[in-house]
Structure 1
Amino acid sequence: MDSFRRDGLTFDVRDAGPRDGEPVVLLHGFPQDSAAWDLVAPALHQHGLRTLAPDQRGYSPMARPHGRAHYRLRETVGDVLALLDAAGLESAHVVGHDWGGIVAWALGAWYPERVRTLTALSVPHPAAMAKAMVTSDQGLRSYYMGVFQLPVLPERLLLAGNGAVLRRMLRSGGLDDALVDHYVRRMQEPGAVSAALGWYRALPWAGRDPVGRVRVPTLHIWSTGDAFLGRAATEATERFVEAPYRLEVLEGVPHWIPELAADRVAELVTAHVRTAAS
């Protein structure tokens, strides 16, 4: 399938690999789209896995509702459940990076019956993140989240000069020019950058949607070169998982793990899937 619907919204999805393979849902973050997994997915297919990589809420052109309440975690999690339903899947392995990782953590806590395994790239468990914000340097690393709460200004800043600020941020993280151009071009689509920022602007609802303890086998991949996410929350995450848990640290890799460490990600995810399936 190449799309699915929920509540009048249409989401684009890349469904590839062996149809009878173990299903793996790949969830991107900000300001990416499903192209973040372009190097990971083929490697997973070679190991007999099927991948479903949606352009999430705000990123699919026909799934950009107005208003930050539409981007609260309950909604973004509901989108993944709708994807599973549309694909006829009772459950799947869920891999998420950045905001996609937050969705993955919530799925593992709220709907463990629908998650065979969980793999979170970069982002710690939300409760560990919240604590680290006031007990470590994480608050300084996350200053941009406060800036993104402002109306209008973040859109103008990110897209000014043909997206110069956004381009600089992505290039400084090691992404190549072709991928940077692709992500910036997507953010320049009508309403795209405001919709993508909606995920951040929905953070005031986080207290109403707490992510509890996760009870599915979990792999957490973090990189020491991540400028946005530090060690404190990463090391505290294990206490919020009541299932087999493994932390894999990638030395020197920047935040954009799916694009910059694709072979290692595919290797780790494949092993994680096989361990749970055996």
Structure 2
Amino acid sequence: MSNPAAQAEPWTHHEAVVNEVRLHWVQAGEGPLMVLLHGFPEFWYGWRKQIPALAAAGYRVVAPDLRGYNQSDKPAGIRPYRVQSRVDDVAALIRHLGAERAHVVAHDWGGIVAWWLAMVHPERIDRLAILNAPHPRAFSREIRRNPRQMMASWYAGFFQLPALPEAALRARDYRMLRGIFRAESVRPGAFSGEDIRRYRNAAAQPGALTAMLNYYRAAVRYPPPPTRTIPHPTLLIWGVRDQALTLELTEGLEPWVPNLRIERIPEASHWVASEYPDRVNALLTGFFGPAGG
């Protein structure tokens, strides 16, 4: 029997094995391929306010659950979550979808994947848009010289511990995880109770919480390859009230990303796409232009 609620969704659900992992994604629209990459602790649903608008602009919009998240596979151990594996997942997904290249929009850990995808597989990207995810060179610079960034990144050190971070995030029905979306800096109403329930349920799937935290653990244990200049037209959208990532991360990027445009939104937090979807959607459609144009 069909599910009426699923029929009402403005996207369809798909899955396939790519790069030796089964990935789940949602898809909407027709036209040039656009891939949306979520961050921690979200899943494809983090783009719920962008998918319809970008599909209406004439794009085939695909938003996957990255490996370890929600309905995608959750390989055991830390090594499967190193940056190269996640980058290869996205490159393989683009090929699986029948495209040579795609526009890529990404946030947080998805943004880290996208920065590296542009460096490691530049042939797979047309244009790139990043939301509140630091360029690797900028983050390395600021974590060394900026005490504010060092303090803001405390949680990444905590996540290196075995088992304890999982227990803390799971405690009291995932109270800490749910609180991430209701921090003081977050615009009221950006996340509904249903939104937070979905994030809680995705994190509660067997193996998901450890897999999500293994992104942080793998980043320390398995350093990525050397950085390269990113030639693609790139848009960086930055919520200035981000409590985990300082504004200095948006400065001095031109030597590494020479074709860069930066849009800072002073009143937005880390969750800029959920807080100010109309503004973000307008920036994205303006940057990518009319499909086929």
Give the whole-Å Cα distance in 2 for the aligned partners of 1:210 and 1:277.
34
Give the whole-Å Cα distance in 2 for the aligned partners of 1:169 and 1:270.
28
Residues 235-254 of structure 1, C-alpha deviations (whole Å, 9 max, x = no match): 13233113x21000012111
Give the whole-Å Cα distance in 2 for the aligned partners of 1:35 and 1:95.
14
Residues 223-269 of structure 1, C-alpha deviations (whole Å, 9 max, x = no match): 11111111111113233113x21000012111112211222222111
> Given residue 2 of structure 1, which amino acid in structure 2 is its aligned partner?
H
Q: Counterpart of 1:240 in 2: which secondary structure?
A: coil
Going from structure 1 to structure 2, the CA distance change for 1:126 and 1:277 (only over 3 Å counts) comes to farther
Q: How many pairs does the alignment contain?
A: 275
Q: Does 1:203 align with 2:219?
A: yes
Q: Does 1:166 align with 2:177?
A: yes
Give the whole-Å Cα distance in 1 for the aligned partners of 2:71 and 2:101.
26
Indicate the residue corresponding to 1:247 in structure 2.
262
Match among 96, 121, 135 for residue 145 of structure 2: 135
> Given residue 159 of structure 1, which amino acid in structure 2 is its aligned partner?
R
Give the whole-Å Cα distance in 2 for the aligned partners of 1:128 and 1:276.
32
User: What are the ranges of 5 or more consecutive residues in structure 2 without an aligned counterpart?
Assistant: 1-12
Give the whole-Å Cα distance in 2 for the aligned partners of 1:275 and 1:228.
34
Going from structure 1 to structure 2, the CA distance change for 1:10 and 1:71 (only over 3 Å counts) comes to same
> Given residue 256 of structure 1, which amino acid in structure 2 is its aligned partner?
W
Match among 214, 217, 225 for residue 241 of structure 2: 225
Question: Which segment is superposed worse, 267-276 or 139-148?
Answer: 267-276
Residues 40-87 of structure 1, C-alpha deviations (whole Å, 9 max, x = no match): 110111211110100001014441001111000000001101111110
Indicate the residue corresponding to 1:190 in structure 2.
206
Question: Do the aligned partners of 1:91 and 1:114 also contact (CA within 8 Å) in 2?
Answer: yes
Indicate the residue corresponding to 2:129 in structure 1.
119
| Superposed CA RMSD | 1.7
Match among 6, 9, 16 for residue 4 of structure 1: 16
The structure where helix makes up a greater share of residues is 1
Match among 51, 57, 66 for residue 61 of structure 2: 51
Instruction: Please give the TM-score of this superposition, normalised by the length of structure 2.
Output: 0.89
Residues 66-114 of structure 1, C-alpha deviations (whole Å, 9 max, x = no match): 1111000000001101111110000000011000000110111111111
Indicate the residue corresponding to 2:34 in structure 1.
24
Instruction: Please give the TM-score of this superposition, normalised by the length of structure 1.
Output: 0.94
Residues 8-61 of structure 1, C-alpha deviations (whole Å, 9 max, x = no match): 42110112112xx12110000000000011111101112111101000010144
> Given residue 243 of structure 2, which amino acid in structure 1 is its aligned partner?
A
Q: Counterpart of 1:220 in 2: which secondary structure?
A: strand
Q: What fraction of aligned residue pairs are identical, expressed as a percent?
A: 37
The alpha-carbon deviation at position 3 of structure 1 amounts to 1.2
Indicate the residue corresponding to 1:237 in structure 2.
253
